Chains A and B, each alone.
Chain A
Amino acid sequence: MTEINENTLLSGVKGGPDGSRPTILVIEDNLMMLRTLTLILNKQGYKVVEARNGKEALMALKEQHYDLVLTDLMLPYANGYEIIGKLKENIEQRQIPVIILSAVHDEEAVLDGFGIGADDYVKKPFTPGELLSRVSRLIDK
């Protein structure tokens, strides 16, 4: 784990004004995917906070500011739409970009996601390169 979690900033990841790394909240109920996403994002130089369900995600959102939220749709306690809805209701947090990462492919789900305020939608299966480029594009914005 240590090798992948090392705090090296790779090219493409810009630190904050104080040199801090961008922080991403990853919400995913599949533990394998959650750990993998963390490893991928860590390796790219992002700081990651993990949440395994809607309840944990809402608590994590109260605790600190994030530069991006990456969420699944099907989650226990509160689904992805509810989390995004709560986030967008909050004046302080509504600017945080949100990416939905989901295996739900139908057009309706995608449109609902954008309708509720998501900034991007990545369909599973995906390539790490595709995800990272979308993440960096939104964080750089």
Chain B
Amino acid sequence: MDKIFNDYFQWPVFIKLAAAVSVIAVIGGGLVYLFILLWRRKGYINDRKKARLLPEMRELIVKHVILAKGDVPLEAVTFPLDDFRKLGIRKADVRRFFVEELMEYRRNFSGRPRQLLTRLYTDLGLHHITEKNLTCKRTQGIISALNELISMGVPVNEDKVLPLLDHENRYVREGARCYFVKLSEDRPFFFLEKISTPLLYWEQIEMFRIITQRKDVEIPDFSRWISSEYHPSVISFCLKLAVYYQQFETGPAMMKLLDTENEKLRARLINALGKLMVEKAESRLVAMYCDQPWSCKQEILKALGRIGSGNSLVFLRDKFETEQEIPLVKHAAKSIVNHRALSENLLREMQAGAVGLKHTVLQHAANPLIKY
């Protein structure tokens, strides 16, 4: 060994470097393999433990929860908690297996079994640990805790979730929003006040699904958030909700925002005004048409067709005849058709006078089987 060390210092520099790098690489590789080996061993032991425990867990859950007799009131149902505790749910890994099973059962079963699964979870006191995890330092731990509470439908002290709405991690913020929408009794829409970064499309879809599925919540007037004080993604999200809940009273708030410089938001506002058939907005939409970009022009034409008051028929005819872009001509024609009885005479007159492409567009728009 001494000889090797003595020789090493006499070698040329690049050989010394090469030898040092090789030794480090071999030791590093060995350590990585050892780590992988230990990791896999841990996984293997966990899997074995899980495979041993799962049948027992499932049997207990099915017997006492899924197939519990329906003639006893929900509050009077008691579980053999000691039998569940004997599974070893005090240990972190067993607790995790057990909670994962409860969550999976809750996803697949509805009605009484679903409510009983939540009761079992709280009766065993499993939510206390989850509540503690909301304040832990590991981001992943917080996300798991939020997910667990949402999946099990267990509300906790909201003061612990409130700071998470401003958390630096996007996934934590999203989890906290979901928590409020799904579980908060007093302020399920509070999260809208706290949004300062864009609410992504897929987040909006998820939120929309949760909100529209929740039946026990009082739906607020969304015009409160249709204001320039809020982030455009919040406004856009509230427009969808206002349309879904047919909140006609949000019309004035939408019209106030029509001057926004954000082109996408303007197009969405016009779309929402059309879907809510806000007749008061018609003259404003007609007046602003000429200065608008293509996307907004298209939405204006569609909106006028949806409102269908008959006041804009002359305008729509003019656009049908003068616009050069075919999609706009097509939407103008469709909107005239959408006026139904009010536009019958006009449509007949236009069909008689139209030739070539315009005639084809009119035929196309008049076909009730074609929707766009």
| A residues in contact (CB < 8 Å) with B | 1, 3-4, 30, 32-33, 35-36, 39-40, 43, 103, 124-129
Select B66's contact among A30, A40, A103, A124, beta carbons within 8 Å. Answer: A40
Write the B105-132 contact mask toward A (1 if CB under 8 angstroms, else 0): 1111111111000000000000000000
Main secondary structure of the interface of A (DSSP, over half): helix
For B111, give the chain A residue with the smallest CB separation.
A127
Cβ–Cβ contact B111 & A40, under 8 A: no
For the complex, what is the distance from the CA of A33 to the CA of B67, rounded to whole Å? 14
- Residue-wise interface mask of B (58-79) relative to A, using a CB-CB cutoff of 8 A (1 in contact, 0 not): 1100110011001000000000
A101 closest partner in B (C-beta): B108
Residues of B contacting A: mostly: helix
B108 touches A124 (CB 8 A): yes
Cα separation A3 to B70 with both chains bound (whole Å)? 20
| Number of residues on chain B facing chain A (CB within 8 A) | 21
Q: Enumerate the 10 nearest inter-chain pairs by beta-carbon distance, A residue then B residue, closest first.
A: A125-B110, A127-B111, A39-B62, A125-B109, A32-B104, A124-B108, A125-B108, A35-B58, A127-B110, A128-B66
In the complex, given contacts A124-B108, A128-B66, A128-B113, what are 11 additional A-B residue pairs having Cβ atoms less than 8 angstroms apart?
A: A3-B59, A30-B104, A32-B105, A36-B105, A39-B62, A40-B66, A40-B67, A125-B109, A126-B108, A127-B111, A129-B70
Q: Which residue of A lies closest to B56 (CB)?
A: A1
Bound complex: CA A129 to CA B111 (Å): 10
In the complex, B353 has a CB within 8 A of chain A: no
Could you tell me the distance in whole angstroms from the C-beta of A129 to the nearest C-beta in chain B?
7
Which B residues lie at the A interface, using CB under 8 A? 54-55, 58-59, 62-63, 66-67, 70, 101, 104-114
Residue of A33, A35, A126 near B110 (CB, 8 A) is A126
Contact B58 A32 (CB under 8 A): yes
Kindly provide the distance from the CB of A8 to the nearest chain B CB, expressed in whole angstroms: 14
A127 touches B58 (CB 8 A): no
Q: Measured between alpha carbons, how far is A35 from B54 in the docked complex, in Å?
A: 10
- Evaluate whether A4 and B70 lie within 8 angstroms (CB atoms) in the complex, with A35-B55, A125-B107 already known: no
Instruction: Chain A residues near B62: list those with CB within 8 A.
Output: 4, 36, 39-40, 43
Q: Per a CB cutoff under 8 Å, which of A35, A103, A127 touches B112?
A: A127
Give the shortest distance, in Å, between B116 (CB) and chain A (any CB).
Answer: 11
Chain A residues with CB under 8 Å of B66's CB are: 36, 40, 128
A10→B108 CA distance, assembly (Å): 25
**Contact partners of B58 in chain A: CB under 8 A:** 32, 35-36, 39
- Output the nearest chain A residue to B62 by Cβ-Cβ distance: A39
CB distance from B182 to the nearest CB of A (A): 15
A43 CA / B59 CA spacing, docked (Å): 11
